[in-house]
Structure 1
């Protein structure tokens, strides 16, 4: 498949996902408001509602982040920088873009950044050195 056609298909995928996320976010936010407007229940209902609100809030946050990434990818498609790694400037392989259409880095640069973010920590050592509070 020629690159131009592949980019067109990726653009369509991004737009469909963006529209789906927008609808989901609009529904999630209106549903949260609807739940709050139903009035108070007993203590157990309040606890369940609080837990559900937290889960919904985290989902909305993740969907919002993905929506932002999609909007940025669509902007890169417009300005011609789509498919180029932000880190090294090389082309991002089409297979990676098909798997993650809003990717901004190639696999090698992603691996390097992930290795830099998660240094190996010996948790046993951390707990061994922690002072024990006396009672």
Structure 2
């Protein structure tokens, strides 16, 4: 029963965070739109300052949008009854991990393995990343990266 109570608290926490992120993203997007539509005034330094501020706001909005997507996914998993179970090995994710990262989908062991493998390395076993192709179907040539790298030390 304690796990059920913890999952209910996490559900409320996820809903509250989703609401907060939606509000913040809305405000940030309005601010970005306002900056783009405001008339350009000032010198080059003002323009550079405005551009850097816009870039920071855009990056923050992107990070918050990713977090929001993860939260939405966690809420869907709650509805489906799969929340709190590792997507790889199907064991229960400890409540302490879910408290720390409520939208976690992997247990610590599987998360570690994924990070060590690079997460996607298993899909590309045997790929020779030292070779590239220019993609031109008329010219079926293959290049080795070592052939086109230049010695920058000279």
Per the normalisation by structure 2, the TM-score is 0.75
How large is the RMSD of aligned CA atoms in angstroms? 2.0
Rg larger for = 2
Over residues 17-47 of structure 1, what are the superposed CA-to-partner deviations in whole Å (9 max), with x where a residue is unaligned?
0000000000000011122232102211111
Over residues 52-102 of structure 1, what are the superposed CA-to-partner deviations in whole Å (9 max), with x where a residue is unaligned?
111111111110000000001011101100001011111111100010000
Return the alpha-carbon distance in structure 2 between the equivalents of residues 52 and 108 of structure 1: 39
For the pair 1:107 / 2:145, whether they are aligned, the reply is no
**Secondary structure at 1:13 match in 2:** helix
Spell out structure 1 runs of 4+ moving beyond 4 A: none
Q: Which residue in the other structure is 2:151 paired with?
A: 131
Instruction: Could you tell me which runs of 5 or more consecutive residues in structure 2 were left unpaired when the two chains were aligned.
Output: 122-148
Q: Which residue in the other structure is 1:123 paired with?
A: none
Q: Which residue in the other structure is 2:46 paired with?
A: 45
Q: Which residue in the other structure is 1:31 paired with?
A: 31
Instruction: Could you tell me which runs of 5 or more consecutive residues in structure 1 were left unpaired when the two chains were aligned.
Output: 120-128
Return the alpha-carbon distance in structure 1 between the equivalents of residues 87 and 108 of structure 2: 12
Higher relative contact order (CA 8 A, sep 6+): 1
The size of the alignment, in residue pairs, is 125
Contact 2:35 / 2:54 at 8 angstroms: preserved in 1?
no
Return the alpha-carbon distance in structure 1 between the equivalents of residues 150 and 116 of structure 2: 26
Return the alpha-carbon distance in structure 1 between the equivalents of residues 37 and 2 of structure 2: 53
Return the alpha-carbon distance in structure 2 between the equivalents of residues 83 and 130 of structure 1: 50
